[in-house]
Amino acid sequence: MRVGVIGLGAMGMGAAKSCLAAGLDVVGCDVFSEARAAFEAAGGKAVSTPAEIGPADALLLLVVNAQQMEDALFGDNGAAPVLAPGAVVLASATSPPDFPPKLSERLGSMGLLFLDAPVSGGAAKAAAGEMTVMASGPTEAFEKAKPLLDAISEKVYQLGDQAGQGSVVKMINQLLAGVHIAAMAEAFALASRSGADLNTVYEVICNSAGGSWMFQNRGPSILDGDYQPKSAVNIFVKDLGIVLDAGRNMTFPLPLAATAHQQFLAASAGGHGRENDSAVIKVFQKLTGIDLPDGEGEKS
């Protein structure tokens, strides 16, 4: 199978390398030359525009948002017109649930299959080929995409045959993920103000009822003072914005999601939007002057 992967960021790079490891013929696409060079060093072929991917049998979109997915498919030098007949497109960026049905209809008119296939698991799971895929679409699309899905995922949830259902479930996941990260940051901030040793707090909570996957996964970033982006603050500004828009459209209150969104907005406004999402804790640092590890074994 010839596979195209558009977006060689933290998760896209891992997914593309997992496809290589599975023996697929992979072409990666990214606007940044550094990402292309890294993928070529891993043994893949890299291009700078989606159209250069050529007649792929499957196309995985791991870009930032809905607009980037649309541009990658239908914009100048878009991939959709050059894909192999009957190819399957997997839209894996988090997007509003009303967006995938539009892509499905447009691609279907071109004789292409479509899966609304958001993913979860972070950079580490992507690199290990162990992501969780929340997908919806026709059975034919799942069958066509099976070699790709086998390469990148540990679990694939088939959530129905209509595009949009996968994005609904991903939206719920992002609500929880964003709230958990914001709560984790608040807890570490309170621990710091209280004079507790943060490493000890981390160990205790990871083995107690208050722990969560996000606490375990994002906590080391704060302990090490390492805010190199794996999933940036601005991702949750976007994703929680999608959650809140959906709630507004359904006249449905989402008070915890709204509070978490404000925390990520504050972090972004404070200049931390492109840092790791755990940098939301820096809102508390600016407000209260708490000490946090600075990455060099010191507190700042």
Integer Cα distance of 22 and 142 in angstroms: 18
The pTM for the full model equals 0.91
Query: What residues are labeled active site?
Result: 170
The pLDDT assigned to 118 comes to 96
10 residue type, one letter: A
Q: Considering the domain 2-163 in this protein, what is its CATH number?
A: 3.40.50.720
The pLDDT assigned to 122 comes to 84
Label residues 251-279 b or e (16+ Cβ within 10 Å = b): eeebeebeebbebbbbbbebebbebbbbb
CA atoms lying within 13 Å on the CB side of residue 80:
23
The pLDDT assigned to 10 comes to 85
Sequence-ordered strand ranges (E) for the chain: 2-6, 25-29, 45-47, 58-61, 88-91, 113-116, 119-120, 131-135, 153-158
The pLDDT assigned to 22 comes to 96
The fold of 168-288 is N-(1-d-carboxylethyl)-l-norvaline Dehydrogenase; domain 2 (1.10.1040)
> How do residues 229-259 score in pLDDT, each as one tens digit?
888 999 999 999 999 999 999 999 999 999 9
Quick one: which of 97, 121, 111, 18 has its CA closest to 60?
A: 18
Helix (H, G, I), strand (E, B) or coil at 91: strand
Integer Cα distance of 80 and 289 in angstroms: 51
**Domain boundaries along the sequence of the chain:** 2-163, 168-288
Residue segments in the chain with a per-residue pLDDT below the cut of 70: 295-300
> How do residues 13-67 score in pLDDT, each as one tens digit?
999 999 999 999 999 999 999 999 999 999 999 999 999 999 999 999 999 999 9
